[in-house]
Structure 1
């Protein structure tokens, strides 16, 4: 998954949407959408996902929420759409919904641990301390990148 920071983290050349000069989706994301719904429809959904990513990057969470909610309804098997919708929900304080979508994104992406700190923080905000500790142990066992582990430490320390 590569939308967490709303900029491409990996992948090759990216597809740009119409009028999209400051953001493009990683190639792996456009391929995910093309595989799920076909190339023509995938291109349209990629444009919508790019628009949602731009809104998220500009802290326009209600706009990003509207777009990602529709995308998740159209392509529930898209880890990227689920991840971004979960992050938007997190920013809006919709912690239960964020957990649901970020967990789904993890399942769809071979249990990628990159969003575990956000999921942990949602559980912390909801007072689920036992679950927070379980996820912290899971994160440590996954041996993620140093920045992901550091985020997890910050959540546990909060």
Structure 2
């Protein structure tokens, strides 16, 4: 029974790993199609955000039987806010009036203003959700290690 649960957990974790990588690929494609000065200057923090996103989701989905409904909702908010914050983040080609958003396809100034506010709010939601998820992963992992050591007679 335990091996079936562990096998199912790893299968689901694999599916979500692929989904996380797909999200990162979509964000990378958006960055490539919408490259500008803003994205060039803030490349390192955004790469760190993508790395945290991947590893946090990876460790979260490996704990299949330890998830609460609230943490599943937090995880979904991590996915949605990560994708939308990067896709809606406007950039400029370096000249006035050359702002664009959504894979470089939209150039309407009013829409770009709204998208930039939404992107910044979603970026904060994403960071807070990631922080909550990382703390949850750490606490559950610590609890599981302690239980494992007790069963092995090491504590």
Which structure is higher in helix share? 2
Say which one has the larger Rg: 2
Q: Compare relative contact order (CA 8 Å, sep 6+) and give the higher one, 1 or 2.
A: 2
